[in-house]
Amino acid sequence: MKRLVLLALLGVFAAATAFGQNAAIDKALQDEIKKTKEKSDKDITNDKAKDKAKTWIDRAKAYEEVALRYASLDSSAALIAYDAYKKAVELDTKEGKQGKLAKEAQDILVGGGNNLYAALMQQGAAKYQAKNMKDALKLMQTASMVHAKDTTATLYTGIVAQQLDDQKLARESFERYLAGGGKGPEIFYAVANMYKAEKNFDQAVKVLDQGIAANPTNKDLQSEKINIFLSSGKADEAISNLKQMADADPKNVQTVLNLAILYDNQATNLGDELKKTNDQMKKGGQLTKRIADQKGKTDAYASEITRLQAAVKKQPKSVEMKRLLTDANKVQAENKATLDQLNQDLKTFESSQQGVSVEDLKKRTDEMTARQTEQRKQAQDYYNKALQIEPANYDANYNMGVFYFNEAVETKRRIDAMDMQAYQKEGKSVENQVVVKFKEAMPYFEKAYEVKQESEVKDNLKNLYTILKQYEKSDAYDAKLKKISE
């Protein structure tokens, strides 16, 4: 996941506290602040002063000034100021009741929009710029507590936590930022990806929906929602959302192309499922046929054994008849053992199919074939729409070429599966269909190559020209092969 970066953070807070003054005044002010800081350092070790709330209030304000104006005096001045305010609250609270100074300090600690918040953020930014992420995080976290309603500190806390690979804190901070009214699309994107990494796809989509509502024209959020649907195996939802995007922006070629690719991939995936189902159906059918054949063989031997038994009764002294009966019984025992094994194999097969019969597999195959046909049609339609929008689109032309090329290959497989009798009956007709499909692929590959001379389309064109040359037994493709090989 792409990390977020704090852009111009230091400049923002430095500008907020800049002071226009000449060098002499600046030097005098720095000396004054330095003396005040040094006095505070002594006061907190003084037995009379260290237990007074005012000592710590003064210290907090002194260190605020250091952090805001002269941070080089102490790069942790803002945190020292924060701790000093907390100490003042502690010292001026008796039996749960806060005194005047405790209330003043408490208001600063949680009131926000004050010098303490600015000091924490400014020093946090400086730590971030110096790549001291650990201290930057502590400062920004503290700032987010001082000004809980402000989304800036919460946002930056999340970004720095992300830099430190503290994904839990990063997400908590980003979600606080969003709950506080933050609308940055990159934050919605980041939080959604955190949920996606945990495979909490429903929550990821929910976050993206909130982001899209806040940023209705942001295409990155919409695209990521599609990606999450695909990652979670919800292709139908992805298609539905892409169609909404295409309806909203019908001239967006990438959206239309993505729809075509999605339908194309769905058809391909169904093709893989169909192959598995057909293999299962074929295996079940073969077992059923072998059982029928073996049963017929067993029945035939049973009749032969009955005949031989009758013959032995008529010729009890015939050694030959007894030998034939013994051999027949032996073969029949083998036949029954084979039949038992085949029945067991069929039972095992049916068990592996979880009770799905060969007839059920056939029904499933028919349904998947119909769905695949529809998805291929949708893919083709959307590829054509993409080309209507942008005729020279490389991806649309290349994918359309692949579409027809693959159809030709699938048709060719029908020929490869034919026996001689079937080939003699319809082989030539199917071969003509193969050639037609390969030729339909050709102009799309050629257009893609015209747009961009990528190796993938170049190799496909060489292969296509060679195939067509062999099918048509023609030299007409030699010039094309020569040109593409140059």
Rounded Cα distance, 94 and 219, in Å: 57
Q: What is the pLDDT of residue 11?
A: 43
- Confidence tier at 15 by pLDDT (50, 70, 90): very low
Residues paired with residue 98 on neighbouring β-strands, in sequence order: 93
**403 Cβ neighbours under 8 A, 6+ residues apart:** 264, 376, 379, 380, 383, 441
Report CA dihedral (236, 241, 243, 248) to the nearest 10 degrees: 170
Q: What topology is assigned to 1-181 in CATH?
A: 1.25.40
Q: What is the pLDDT of residue 83?
A: 96
- Confidence tier at 201 by pLDDT (50, 70, 90): very high
Q: What topology is assigned to 252-385 in CATH?
A: Helix Hairpins (1.10.287)
Look up residue 475 and give its DSSP letter: S
Query: Does 57 score more than 70 pLDDT?
Result: yes
The secondary element (H helix, E strand) that includes residue 254 is: helix 253-314
Look up residue 73 and give its DSSP letter: G
Q: Which sequence spans correspond to the domains of the chain?
A: 1-181, 183-233, 252-385, 391-486
Tell me which residue has tokens 């506080």. 180
Contact 189, 221 (CB under 8 A): yes
3-state secondary structure of 21: coil
Mean pLDDT within 324-338: 91
- Confidence tier at 4 by pLDDT (50, 70, 90): low
**84-134 residue pLDDT tens:** 999 999 999 999 999 999 999 999 999 876 899 999 999 999 999 999 999
3-state secondary structure of 192: helix
In angstroms, the Cα distances linking 5 to 2, 191, 386 are 10, 15, 36
Contact 438, 468 (CB under 8 A): yes
Mean pLDDT within 224-252: 90
Cα–Cα nearest to 7, from 93, 123, 129, 94: 129
3-state secondary structure of 5: coil
Residue 97 has phi, psi (to 5 degrees) of -105, 130
Q: What is the pLDDT of residue 400?
A: 95
Rounded Cα distance, 208 and 213, in Å: 8
Mean pLDDT within 247-272: 88
Query: Does 486 score more than 60 pLDDT?
Result: yes
Q: What is the separation of C-alpha 149 from the centre of its chain, rounded to a whole number of angstroms?
A: 33
Q: What is the pLDDT of residue 380?
A: 94
Mean pLDDT within 30-37: 87
A 10 A CB-CB count for 349 gives 16
Mean pLDDT within 335-361: 77
Q: What are the percentages of helix, strand and coil residues in the chain, rounded to 5?
A: 80, 0, 20
Mean pLDDT within 216-225: 87
Rounded Cα distance, 359 and 20, in Å: 88
**400-430 residue pLDDT tens:** 999 999 999 988 888 887 888 888 888 888 8
Query: Does 342 score more than 90 pLDDT?
Result: no
Query: Does 217 score more than 90 pLDDT?
Result: no
Tell me which residue has tokens 């690719």. 261
Look up residue 2 and give its DSSP letter: P
Least confident of 111-115, 157-161, 357-361: 357-361
User: Do 1-181 and 252-385 have matching folds?
Assistant: no
Q: What is the pLDDT of residue 355?
A: 60
Cα–Cα nearest to 405, from 376, 444, 436, 441: 441
Query: Does 196 score more than 60 pLDDT?
Result: yes
**458-470 residue pLDDT tens:** 999 999 999 999 9
